Chains A and B, each alone.
Chain A
Amino acid sequence: MSASSYDARFKVWRGDPGGGGLEDFKVEVNEGEVVLDIVHRLQATQVPDLAVRWNCKAGKCGSCSAEINGRPRLMCMTRMSVFERDEVITVTPLRAFPVVRDLVTDVGFNYTKARDVPAFVPPAGVGPGEYRMQQADVDRSQEFRKCIECFLCQDTCHVVRDHEENKGAFAGPRFLMRVAELDMHPLDAAAESGLDRKRAAQEEHGLGYCNITKCCTEVCPEGIKITDNALIPLKERAVDRKYDPLVWLGNKIRRRGE
């Protein structure tokens, strides 16, 4: 053990759908390490069958989502140096999703919701290679496409975290953001095909459940301003369709004029 190493105290949740609990561990920590390194050391030296998901270990794939000291985070991007050496560090699986084993949860909810959002509709008469879009027009959607689908926003959102019964009606921040991304895509032809994404956000994907308390933005490891740039603009767009008689009237008149 080098001079900068020390033994940290960890509590890691172990178990499966049948039950489980926090188990205590003492484990070596070296300079510059992150929580995922420690979990790997536990696997290699103490509990070889400790279940954990991970992939890139560089904050790019969004696999190693967990809750560290009660906060949803990526294990690979949580440095040990942010904790005191005598602090007990608690690691649990995501608490909004059904547990599979140890730190692994069933994130199928998210894949189901992804499938509920109608895909990009290519514009008619524009062939491959003919797409012309200005950078200014793609900036907004590009921000949302930075999403690495770690599902921390889905995990922290109280609409489903605290209310299992809302899972049917509510798509969650990640997939409402996907609706916003497509609605802001300069060439998406959903409207021409008869699909109103603004209305669908409210009626199909549960936008109204969001009470913009911003936890999704707080936990986003990519720093995407989910609430300010996706959810609130989407709410305003839904208002245009559903709650603003002036906009409704204006559109009606303009359409008549065309």
Chain B
Amino acid sequence: MATGTEPQPKSGTAPGGGVRDGTRAAIAAAHLRTDRWWLAPAATAAGLLAFVVYSTWRAFANADYYQAPYVSPFYSPCLADNCEPMRSGPNWEIFGSWWGLSPALLVLIFPLGFRLTCYYYRKAYYRGFWASPPACAVAEPHKKYTGETRFPLVLQNIHRYFFYAAVPVAGILTYDTVLAFRDEHYEWGHMGLGTLVFLVNIVLIWAYTLSCHSCRHIVGGKLKHFSRHPVRYRMWQWVGKLNARHMLLAWASLVSVALCDLYVYLLASSAFDDPRLF
């Protein structure tokens, strides 16, 4: 019985047999989808590419990232000597003066790693850039596939460490947002349009960070008995609700952090003055 459960003979098919493997229904087409299945991966790839181009330019620019009281999230905290002086800002010159490149590069490695190993972004770029698969039930172009079993992709498993790093980064950006409640003379109790931009951004950053799958696991997902840990269970449920929107939050926070930086750039390059609310 072919539908029985006898062990199957080791299929002698060459790698890449896939849907055209000799045992499968003889259909030459790689897929028979009639909808616009390519739209989602194409849009994903375009969106990610746009961000990569923008953020690379901004990260290497090493200019126009501070306009009191706002510091671009790409350059915070500032860990080198060559940072612009930011009053009460996160200038911690850990790297001293030998660092000659843009200070953004020291910091961006953490959010970059967090997002690169994020379970949602993995799906997005595996589909969008690597076409593995391009869309569901659409044959992928690769001959071989080993997934995340080998180096380098096995490193995706360190996602939780980037999560640990992402929490202090979000904390620092929160601090920056608090500092944004000053005016350009560092007087407290003021708000500008920039403050609102920073507020929206930090809410989205936190929501994205906390909705992380690793976070969900750590706060409670690893437990066997929720009923014995009511507080962690409540937290798990709460993170779970956020987690269901992880994709949305990933995109929203990506856009907001870029907008936040763009806003500072526009102020710093004097293209535009911050409208003060009070």
Q: How far is the CA of A233 from the CA of B220 in the complex (A)?
A: 11
Contact in complex: A95, B26 (CB < 8 Å): no
Contact in complex: A210, B147 (CB < 8 Å): yes
Report A184 CB to chain B, min CB distance, Å. Answer: 7
Contact residues of A between 55 and 74, Cβ < 8 Å to B? 67, 69-72
The interface residues of chain B lying within 8 Å CB-to-CB of A163 are 15-18, 144-145
The interface residues of chain A lying within 8 Å CB-to-CB of B142 are 162
Chain B window 29-69, contacts with chain A (Cβ cutoff 8 Å), 1 for yes, 0 for no: 00111110000000000000000000000000000000000
Number of A positions contacting B (CB below 8 A): 70
* Chain A residues touching B, majority SS: mixed
Contact in complex: B25, A239 (CB < 8 Å): no
Contact in complex: B18, A162 (CB < 8 Å): yes
Q: Name the one of B19, B25, B217, B227 contacting A105, with C-beta atoms under 8 angstroms.
A: B25
Contact in complex: B5, A17 (CB < 8 Å): no
Report A82 CB to chain B, min CB distance, Å. Answer: 11
Contact residues of A between 102 and 155, Cβ < 8 Å to B? 105-109, 111-112, 115, 134, 136-137, 155
Q: Name the one of B4, B11, B21, B157 contacting A243, with C-beta atoms under 8 angstroms.
A: B157
Contact in complex: B222, A72 (CB < 8 Å): no
Contact in complex: A236, B18 (CB < 8 Å): no
Q: How far is the CA of A43 from the CA of B237 in the complex (A)?
A: 49
- Nearest residue, chain A, Cβ from B154: A208
A108-B4, A162-B18 are contacts. A228–B244 as well, Cβ < 8 Å?
A: yes
Contact in complex: B33, A111 (CB < 8 Å): no
The interface residues of chain A lying within 8 Å CB-to-CB of B168 are none
Contact in complex: A92, B133 (CB < 8 Å): no
B225 at the interface (CB under 8 A from A): yes
A54 at the interface (CB under 8 A from B): no
Report A203 CB to chain B, min CB distance, Å. Answer: 10
Contact in complex: B34, A208 (CB < 8 Å): no
B231 at the interface (CB under 8 A from A): no
Contact in complex: B217, A237 (CB < 8 Å): yes
Report A141 CB to chain B, min CB distance, Å. Answer: 11
Q: How far is the CA of A210 from the CA of B227 in the complex (A)?
A: 31
Shortest beta-carbon contacts, A-B, top 8: A70-B32, A70-B33, A208-B149, A98-B23, A215-B136, A236-B217, A134-B227, A209-B147
Q: Which residues of A contact B (CB under 8 A)?
A: 13, 15, 17, 19-22, 67, 69-72, 87, 90, 92-93, 95-100, 105-109, 111-112, 115, 134, 136-137, 155-156, 158-159, 161-168, 184, 186, 206, 208-215, 218-219, 228, 232-233, 235-240, 242-244
14 pairs, A vs B, C-beta closer than 8 Å: A21-B27, A69-B34, A70-B137, A97-B24, A99-B23, A111-B3, A112-B5, A112-B7, A163-B18, A164-B11, A164-B18, A165-B15, A215-B136, A233-B213
